[in-house]
Structure 1
Amino acid sequence: MPRYEQVADDLRTRIHEGEYAIGSKLPTYAELTTTYGVGRGVIASALTVLEREGLVRIVKKAGIRVLDWRVQRRRISRGQLIFRDPRRGYVGPAAASPDEPWDTHGKPVTSYEPVPERIAELLGVEAGIAVLRRRRVTSPAGEPPFQVVDTWLSAEAVRDAPKAAAAQTGPGGYLDRLEESGHGPLTWTEYGRGRLATREEASLLDVSADAPVFELVWTGRSAQTERIIEVTSRVIPADRVELVSELRRDESATWPVEPVTPRP
């Protein structure tokens, strides 16, 4: 076993056994090199392994912090049904059930921000222009931050439903305000992809800067104009979620298989 893997294995064991508690800091690079009798490069490689596993987060000038590694992976069933909670309105895809309680970490933030290229493409606007963004960081009740949720509203949506752009949108949230303004019923299309977290997302989700994330994007299309008026992106650490879909047989895949008559 390479020396850096030995160091990583020992630190991993100490973290799992509680010697280095969740939220605490590991010793400094200098202290670790002395403890293990190795060079800084070996320590850096070992910490990279632990960071990729979601055990630690390395922040320049702030130290090496132990993350909450006990978070369970959530299964998201992929279907075509949209649920609604009478108290909260439409429910996002990460919820286990329509009435599952979720927490918001910090206050939701509404501001005009340069729209990323991917979102601009879906929204039908020029990348980099200022578009109204609603940002929330949420999780199942009692768990650490699970997802960064960014909703980008078109100028048309803000004009027709100004309450959808407010920090407090009222019962049912911004989607109810959009539909009440004449754009309902909305229809949605979902896109999913894997990528690396941005530095800002990593900070909000408390993961390493190069952590893989899964991004689910919904586009909301107006029934009135048939244009996309809102795009919502949910960014989730890849090690906290797996997607589950029930597969169905097409008519061509019936069983038992009919025998094929050999050609003469």
Structure 2
Amino acid sequence: MSRYEVEAAHLRQKIAAGEYQVGDTLPRISELTEERGVSPATIRRALELLEEEGLVRVVRGTGAIVQPPQPERRRIPRGVRIERDPGRGYVFPAAAHAQEPWQVHGKARRSMESAPERVTAAFGLEPGAEVLRRRRVTSPAGDPPFQIVDTWLSPTAVADAPQVADASTGPGGYLDRLEEAGHGPISWRETTRARMPSTEEARLLGISASRPVLELVLVGTSGRTEQPLEVTIRVIPADRVEIVTALERADSARWPVTPVE
């Protein structure tokens, strides 16, 4: 092992033995350097390795904080069918089979924010334009933050259905209010990609900024104007989830194979 791997193993063993508990801050780099007789660069690289493993999270001005064990990776079924629940309204594939209770971390927020480029482009707005954002940080009950959910609503959506800006949008949520305002039926398209988190996203999810996330972007389009009304962006730590899709056979792939005449 290289020297930084030796130092990482030393700290890893102390964490495993309980010498450093979850929430504790490890000694500063200068203290570890003096104690172990190595360079600051070696300790810094050892901490980076532990951060990549999810054992610590390095916070500028504070130090390396010991993290709780990572929850088991969750399997999210992804299909193409949108269902409707009388009590909840529309139910999308990722949530269709989620029977367990979920919790909101902190308070759900509604505010006018400078929207990311993919949002302003979808709405046909100038880059950096302010758009209504509804934000929640959620997880299964008892788990650390699992996902950030940002729903951006276009100026047209807010003008036609002002209730979408309220804390409570009533039965069926903001989607029902939009369809009642004449935009039904809404259609959706989803895009998934991996990327690195922003500093704010890493803080809200309690992860290192060096750990990738999955970004799931759902764009809802008005059935009347055929223009996007909402863009919902979910950000999930990539090592906390795996996406499962059931594949279906088309008629051309049916079995048994029909002989060609």
Normalising to structure 2: TM-score of the pair? 0.90
Aligned pairs for 1:30-69 (under 5 A) are 30-69=30-69
Q: Which residue of 1 aligns with 2:3?
A: 3
> Separation in 2 of the partners of 1:236 and 1:191?
14
The range that moved more, 134-143 or 179-188, is: 179-188
* Worse overlay, 29-38 or 74-83: 29-38
Looking at structure 2, the residues matched to 34 and 94 of structure 1 have their Cα atoms a distance apart, in angstroms, of 50
Q: Percent identity?
A: 58
For 1:127 and 1:103, the matched residues in 2 are separated by 33
* Structure 1 residue 253: Cα displacement: 5.4
Kindly indicate whether the alpha-carbon contact (under 8 Å) linking 1:85 and 1:99 is maintained by their aligned counterparts in 2: no
CA contact (8 A) 2:104 2:138 kept: yes
1:79 maps to amino acid? G
Give the whole-Å Cα distance in 2 for the aligned partners of 1:159 and 1:258: 56
Secondary structure class of the residue paired with 1:118? helix
| Count of residues in correspondence between the two structures | 260
The CA deviation string for residues 63-118 of structure 1, in whole angstroms up to 9 with x for no partner, is 21112233111111111122444433334554372543111111111111111112
Partner of 1:182, secondary structure, is helix
Contact 2:138 2:148 in 1 (8 A): yes
Deviations 1:40-78 (A, max 9, x none): 101111111111222211111122111223311111111
Q: What whole-Å deviation, never above 9, does each CA across 1:118-160 have from its counterpart, x for those lacking one? A: 2222333222111111111111111111111111101110011
Structure 2 partner of 1:225: 225
Q: 1:258 to 1:235 in 2, by over 3 A?
A: same
Separation of aligned partners in 2, 1:85 and 1:50: 44
Q: 1:165 to 1:55 in 2, by over 3 A?
A: same
- Using the TM superposition, give the Cα deviation of residue 11 of structure 1 relative to its aligned residue in structure 2, in angstroms: 2.1
Query: Alpha carbons of 1:175 and 1:58: their partners in 2 closer, same or farther (altered >3 Å)?
Result: same
Pair 1:92–1:59, CA change in 2 (3 A): farther
Query: For 1:109 and 1:212, how far apart are their aligned partners in 2?
Result: 25
Q: State the secondary structure of the residue aligned to 2:135.
A: strand
User: Post-superposition shift, 1:24?
Assistant: 1.9
Moved more, 210-219 or 9-18: 9-18
Bigger drift between 96-105 and 162-171 goes to: 96-105
User: What is the alpha-carbon distance in structure 1 between the residues aligned to residue 210 and residue 118 of structure 2?
Assistant: 20
Measure, in 2, the Cα distance between the counterparts of 1:98 and 1:175. Answer: 20
Q: Deviations over 1:11-35 (max 9, x none)?
A: 2233344332222222211222233
> Match of 2:103, as an amino acid?
D
The one-letter code matched in structure 2 to 1:143 is D
- Alpha-carbon spacing, 1:258–1:37, altered in 2? closer, same or farther (3 Å): farther
Q: Which residue of 2 aligns with 1:27?
A: 27
Aligned twin of 2:169: 169
Distance in 2, Cα, partners of 1:57 & 1:217: 27
**Does the Cα contact within 8 Å between 2:164 and 2:177 map onto a contact in 1?**
yes
**Partners of 2:154 and 2:209 in 1: how far apart?**
30
Greater shift in the superposed pair: 205-214 or 248-257: 248-257
Q: Structure 1 residues 114-123 or 12-21, which shifts more?
A: 12-21
CA distance in 2: counterparts of 1:19 and 1:85, whole angstroms: 49
- TM-score for both structures, normalised by structure 1: 0.89
Partner of 2:150: 150
Match of 1:262 in 2: none
Q: Which moved more, 1:9-18 or 1:23-32?
A: 9-18
Deviation at 1:246, TM superposition (A): 2.1
User: What secondary structure, in the 3-state scheme, does the structure 2 residue paired with 1:9 have?
Assistant: helix
More deviation, 64-73/152-161? 64-73
Name 1:114's counterpart in structure 2. 114
Q: How does 1:174-189 map to 2 (within 5 A)?
A: 174-189=174-189
Q: Secondary structure at the match of 1:121?
A: helix
SS at match of 2:27: coil
Give the match for residue 208 of structure 1.
208
Contact 1:91-1:98 at 8 Å conserved across structures: no
Tell me the distance in 2 between the aligned counterparts of 1:228 and 1:243.
Answer: 26
